[in-house]
Amino acid sequence: MSDELDDFVNELQEQIFEETRADYGEVAFQRWLKPLYVGAMQDADGYSRVTGTCGDTMEFFLKFENDRVKAATFRTDGCGSSTVCGSFAAELAHGKSPDDVTDITGEMILNVLGGLPEKDRHCAFLASEGLQAALD
Ligand code: FES
């Protein structure tokens, strides 16, 4: 009985993974499995908290050294796409000057991760909005 349940759960998980990979692409899927730059930063120089019209909230934390982003992290209570987009937004910010961070747009995040389904594109724009707000 337990083996049957295990098999069922494993098959179900594999099916969900396959559908997610097909819908979101390999790059986004892998980042969703292992998101980078997640977590709060105690001594951040920049912080933001933005809530999208979808109701999800994202926070960004930036640490600067020599006028460059030394570290960038994020947290979100949102969807899987907000995690993927927050992770790429933080990654793109690393090593950038404040001026260069202002160039990181939702479109840029979407390009890096290979696009998202139409219903999830706004997650990338919420991530870029949060990143920009942390500069202020
Ligand atoms: Fe709200 Fe993705 S659905 S950020």
pLDDT for residue 123:
97
DSSP 67: T
Exposed/middle/buried for residue 99 (C-beta within 10 Å: 0-12, 13-18, 19+) = exposed
**CB of 35 shorter than 6 A to ligand 1:** no
pLDDT for residue 41:
97
**CB of 46 shorter than 6 A to ligand 1:** no
CA 80 to ligand 1: nearest atom: 2
Contacting residues for 96 by C-beta, under 8 A, at least 6 apart: 68, 69, 104
Residues of the chain predicted below pLDDT 70: 1
Contacting residues for 88 by C-beta, under 8 A, at least 6 apart: 31, 109, 112, 113, 127
pLDDT for residue 1:
61
